[in-house]
């Protein structure tokens, strides 16, 4: 029966090169939460975040079918998938600005710990406010801040994903956090 063993991120490029169909589900499961969460904060909509995640993995799957095994073994998978996803998010963000539609529904993300209902409600409101202000940052800052602090990517991977030098990304994150702080103060 199909292998149920977990494959680590480090083993994945070789596994994908050897058997794309067997290894691809492991790639999706390893990256889906990060891609979805990042896309959610970059597009501002759950439906868009799902679309972006689906489309990004679909494109990745098709691309893998056209690559030589040697090229697949060298892939830095997370930044490679994120390069596709970030591009899709940017296009969505652009067209959303032209055709503004639904705002993000005010449901709270599920917290890791389970605080009381009251604390949960407070956290939900705070998250909502934070997400709203985050959405007001210019793309360069927002993308860097989200990939760094929501998705948790290292700077080198963010740089590769967004196609910007590491120094620029660091500056974007720094300025983005400052700007966010100002916006949150104003929103109080």
Interface residues toward another protein, by CB under 8 A: 1-4, 21, 24-25, 28-29, 32-37, 40-41, 46, 50, 53-54, 57-58, 61, 109-111, 123, 126-127, 130-131, 134, 145-146, 149-152, 177, 180-181, 184-185
State the nearest-atom distance from the C-beta of 98 to another protein, in Å: 25
Cβ closest to another protein, residue 5 vs residue 98: 5
Cβ closest to another protein, residue 2 vs residue 98: 2
Biggest CA–CA distance in the chain, Å, is 58
Cβ closest to another protein, residue 99 vs residue 118: 118
Cβ closest to another protein, residue 99 vs residue 117: 117
Cβ closest to another protein, residue 50 vs residue 99: 50
Torsion of CA 52, 57, 59, 63, to 10 degrees: 160
Cβ atoms of 118 and 176 closer than 8 Å: no
For tokens 């983005």, what's the residue? 176
State the nearest-atom distance from the C-beta of 187 to another protein, in Å: 11
15-20 LR contacts (CB < 8 Å, sep 24+): 16/64, 16/72, 16/75, 16/77, 17/69, 17/70, 17/72, 17/73, 18/69, 20/61, 20/64, 20/65, 20/72
Torsion of CA 74, 76, 80, 86, to 10 degrees: -160
State the nearest-atom distance from the C-beta of 1 to another protein, in Å: 5
State the nearest-atom distance from the C-beta of 55 to another protein, in Å: 9
State the nearest-atom distance from the C-beta of 46 to another protein, in Å: 8
> 3-class DSSP state for residue 97?
helix
For tokens 């940017």, what's the residue? 90
């Amino acid at each position: 029966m199909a292998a149920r063993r977990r494959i680590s991120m480090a083993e994945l490029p070789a596994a994908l090169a050897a058997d794309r169909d067997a290894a691809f589900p492991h790639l999706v499961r390893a990256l889906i939460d990060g891609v979805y969460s990042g896309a959610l904060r970059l597009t501002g909509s759950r439906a868009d975040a799902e679309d972006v995640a689906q489309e990004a993995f679909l494109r990745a799957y098709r691309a893998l079918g056209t690559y030589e095994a040697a090229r697949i073994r060298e892939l830095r998978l997370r930044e490679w998938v994120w390069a596709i996803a970030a591009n899709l998010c940017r296009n969505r963000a652009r067209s959303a600005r032209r055709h503004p539609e639904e705002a993000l529904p005010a449901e709270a993300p599920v917290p890791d710990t389970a605080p009381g209902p009251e604390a949960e409600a407070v956290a939900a409101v705070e998250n909502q406010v934070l997400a709203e202000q985050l959405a007001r940052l210019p793309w360069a800052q927002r993308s860097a801040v989200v990939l760094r602090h929501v998705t948790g990517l290292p700077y080198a991977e963010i740089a590769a994903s967004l196609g910007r030098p590491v120094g620029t990304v660091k500056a974007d994150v720094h300025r983005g956090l400052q700007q966010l702080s100002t916006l949150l103060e104003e929103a109080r």
